[in-house]
């Protein structure tokens, strides 16, 4: 577009648009657009995923994460077709407060696993990432070595407005990663809110990363995190920290013994590591292998996965029932009116609920 001379007659001035560079011909633009639109078929993606093609896997995950109904439909078909190839993995949840060294630990742990010929997928559940508050895993440079590794696949947290949405997407992504041959799935989550409970409900083994003397022991007990943990790993147990880390280990062991025995028959363990110096990392994997052995023998491993599936089935139903009810046009009008009647003592919460349900 050539510039034109305009006579501005108003205080509101109009800026000229940015021109297309001359070097971009109309033809080239057409080719680029056509390529963008060329979407692989469900069949292509499934055969790509099951033969371990990372591009196919990434594209299918993008469909899972999309809010476009056509994409969701396609994603559901892919997941159903991948299901027979999934499930053959160990799913490990890793949590810990910011600063505990989760990224460093996962990098060291992931690299160790690849040296054992494992294929490692690292996912995250972080509902805050959609608020661009700085997603965990969002900055892949924090796992520089792992990211370059042929046998590792790292995917940041899907964005979504609710924990429920993020959790569903991550659970579906696990299935695709397993179908693509990843035998070790690591789900990272931040140590806040309900995310940990959601991740605990989708993994086989739940690992809590801690620092010695961080003084947040009460916090962990209060929020039920320690109760969920299959292992507490005290990170940064190096240099001058070693003594404090050792006494923290004693403390945590004592705390763990106050809890009743787990349904898994597994007694949670406490171990020390230095992710930075890559020390104590292989011990963590040995511990997880012990866990898998114990819980496979006593059938807890399979029972737990079945229970998790039932949990997500019921959870999804209940979330949908609620959102359908509260998003109905009638209820959006009537609910605030009933709340006002309750607040002014004109009706009881129970009578108001009856009325709303009768609409």
Q: Measured from the CB atom, is 39 or 87 closer to a second copy? A: 87
Query: Measured from the CB of residue 345, what is the shortest distance to a second copy in angstroms?
Result: 5
Nearest alpha-carbon partner for 52 in 147, 121, 115, 106: 121
Q: Measured from the CB atom, is 238 or 251 closer to a second copy? A: 251
Query: Measured from the CB of residue 74, what is the shortest distance to a second copy in angstroms?
Result: 13
Residues paired with residue 231 on neighbouring β-strands, in sequence order: 207, 269
Q: What is the DSSP letter of 140?
A: G
Q: Measured from the CB atom, is 161 or 354 closer to a second copy? A: 354
Query: Measured from the CB of residue 318, what is the shortest distance to a second copy in angstroms?
Result: 6
Nearest alpha-carbon partner for 207 in 222, 221, 226, 184: 226
Query: Measured from the CB of residue 91, what is the shortest distance to a second copy in angstroms?
Result: 15
Query: Measured from the CB of residue 108, what is the shortest distance to a second copy in angstroms?
Result: 32
2 burial type by CB count under 10 A (0-12 exposed, 13-18 middle, 19+ buried): exposed
Q: Measured from the CB atom, is 53 or 347 closer to a second copy? A: 347
Kindly compute the dihedral angle of the four CA atoms of residues 261, 105, 239, 269, in this order, to the nearest 10 degrees: 10
Q: Measured from the CB atom, is 79 or 273 closer to a second copy? A: 79
Which residues in this chain contact a second copy in the complex, by CB under 8 A?
Answer: 76, 79-80, 83-84, 86-87, 168, 171-172, 175, 218, 221-222, 224, 227, 255, 258, 306, 309-313, 316-318, 320-322, 325, 338-339, 342-343, 345-354, 356-357
Three-class SS of 170-224: HHHHHHHHHHCCCCEEEEEEECCCCHHHHHHCCCCEEEEEEECCCCCHHHHHHCC
Q: Measured from the CB atom, is 46 or 281 closer to a second copy? A: 46
Please, are residues 65 and 158 in contact by the beta-carbon 8 Å criterion?
yes
Residues paired with residue 207 on neighbouring β-strands, in sequence order: 94, 231
Q: Measured from the CB atom, is 134 or 349 closer to a second copy? A: 349
Query: Measured from the CB of residue 117, what is the shortest distance to a second copy in angstroms?
Result: 25
Query: Measured from the CB of residue 82, what is the shortest distance to a second copy in angstroms?
Result: 10
């Amino acid at each position: 577009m050539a510039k034109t001379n305009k006579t501005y007659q108003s205080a509101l001035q109009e800026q000229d648009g940015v021109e297309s560079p001359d070097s971009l011909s109309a033809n080239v633009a057409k080719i680029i657009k056509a390529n963008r639109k060329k979407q692989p078929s469900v069949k292509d993606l499934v055969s790509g995923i099951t033969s371990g093609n990372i591009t196919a896997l990434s594209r299918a995950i993008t469909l899972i994460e999309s809010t476009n109904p056509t994409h969701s439909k396609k994603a559901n078909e892919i997941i159903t077709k991948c299901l027979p190839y999934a499930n053959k993995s160990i799913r490990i949840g890793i949590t810990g407060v910011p600063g505990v060294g989760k990224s460093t630990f996962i990098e060291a742990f992931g690299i160790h696993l690849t040296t054992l010929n494992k294929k490692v997928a690292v996912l995250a559940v972080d509902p805050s990432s959609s608020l661009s508050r700085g997603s965990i895993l969002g900055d892949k440079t924090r796992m520089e070595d792992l990211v370059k590794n042929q046998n590792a696949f790292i995917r940041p947290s899907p964005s979504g407005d609710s924990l429920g949405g993020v959790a569903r997407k991550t659970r579906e992504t696990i299935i695709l990663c397993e179908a693509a041959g990843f035998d070790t799935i690591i789900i990272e989550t931040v140590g806040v809110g309900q995310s940990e409970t959601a991740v605990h409900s989708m993994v086989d083994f739940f690992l809590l990363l801690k620092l010695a003397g961080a003084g947040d022991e009460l916090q962990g007990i209060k929020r039920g995190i320690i109760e969920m943990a299959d292992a507490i790993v005290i990170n940064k147990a190096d240099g001058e920290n070693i003594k404090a880390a050792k006494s923290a280990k004693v403390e945590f062991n004592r705390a763990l013994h106050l809890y009743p025995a787990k349904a898994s028959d597994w007694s949670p363990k406490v171990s020390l590591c230095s992710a930075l110096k890559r020390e104590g990392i292989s011990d963590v994997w040995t511990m997880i292998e012990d866990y898998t052995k114990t819980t496979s023998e006593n059938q807890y491993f399979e029972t737990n996965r079945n229970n998790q599936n039932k949990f997500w089935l019921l959870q999804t139903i209940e979330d949908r029932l609620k959102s359908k009810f509260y998003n109905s046009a009638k209820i959006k009008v009537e609910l605030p009116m009933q709340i006002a009647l309750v607040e002014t003592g004109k009706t009881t919460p129970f009578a108001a609920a009856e009325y709303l349900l009768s609409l």
